[in-house]
Amino acid sequence: MAPTLFTPLKLGRHTLQHRVVLAPLTRFRSDEKAVVRPFVTEYYAQRATPGGLLVTEATFISPTAGSYPNAPGIYTQEQIAKWKEVTQAVHDKGGVIYLQLWHIGRASHSKFSPNGEQPVSASAIAIQGKNLWGDQQQVPRALEILDIKALVQDYRQAALNAVEAGFDGVEIHAANGYLLDQFINTSSNKRSDIYGGSIENRARFALEVVDAIADAIGPDRTAIRLSPWSGFQDMQDDTPYETWGYIVSQLQAHQPELAYVHFVEPRIDFRSEALPDTTDSLDPFRQIWKGPFISAGGYTIDPKLAFERSDKSGDLIAFGRAFIANPDIVERLRNGWPLNRYNRKTFYTPGAEGYTDYPVYQPEAQPEVPKPSL
């Protein structure tokens, strides 16, 4: 009998043929206009398989959504046109591809904004330390309610743009310390209005985004990513089980037809090669959500955990670093072939090195058996 990881699953409007997923991975390979470069098409096509799900790198919903240098957007016609080349290449190989929608909130910096705008967040609380470019993190401006309502519409329009670009659906990035996650966590949200304080209020923005996108493109093309224990970018919540349990309960009650929910596994250190944390567990959320459930985090270190997790709970398993280094990871896992080692130094560099040049597996040639003489 085939392992669950290699059994079909209905997800949104598609039936997947296996449960190995490309995790959303920021790679900084776009141009100065946030347009994906030509080799981005090759990168995703290399990793596409018949009935396999790919989730793109996080993609800005608007020009003021953060604007990290060389990260892509989905808010101009030029961006949409280039993404169409990506989706067509993936579809030509029978793959399914979702676009991850992104607003980075207080993780931004005024030097990256079109007009030097101050970063925004739930509250005027800065991330401690410096960003990837060595700049001290700035104190953000707390969003007004009218600002939040406008951002919900930005997410909605970005989802419509993604469908125009040929994507099969979108994944809302509400994890890892970016804008929606900044509203969810108590460490970054000290508001006293309808978007702060109680769990219901802190979850409101993310749930409004889900509702707006589901209304625009259909719930079966809408998904969300969440991370109760990432700790990245100063994220911490006082009651993670209750907070994310409420979010998933609301999704199950009001948007049960969502394509999937995507959770980051608890890990000892989000930024290291640590195995999953055995103290905390996503199981309570799995018990609430009745649809497809994607689990990410720690599977690169020990791929056999992917088989165990999928067999136990039916999860789809998202691979990040291992999928970077192994464009043919689906067949490597299926056949027990060894994995290439990734090169961390090229994760965020601008060129093709460490991006489209990882080799596929080549079985050793078997010695030719001499033909019997007549």
Cα→Cα distances 189→1, 24, 252, Å: 48, 25, 25
C-alpha–C-alpha distance, residues 121 and 189, integer Å: 8
* 222 in Cβ contact with 172 (< 8 Å): yes
Residue located via tokens 């604007």:
67
Euclidean distance between CA atoms 34 and 43, whole angstroms = 17
Exposed / middle / buried, residue 115 (Cβ in 10 Å: 0-12, 13-18, 19+) = exposed
Q: Give phi and psi for 7, each to the nearest 5.
A: -115, 150
Using alpha carbons, select from 209, 280, 290, 291 the residue that is nearest to residue 239.
280
- Tokens 């609380």 correspond to what residue? 125
Check if the beta carbon of residue 54 is closer than 8 Å to that of residue 89. no
CA distance 233 to 227: 12
Catalytic residue among 43, 44, 98, 178: 178
What is d(CA 236, CA 247) in angstroms, rounded to the nearest whole number?
16
Q: Is 155 a catalytic residue?
A: no
Would you say 292 and 319 are in contact if contact means Cβ atoms under 8 Å apart? no
Catalytic residues: 178
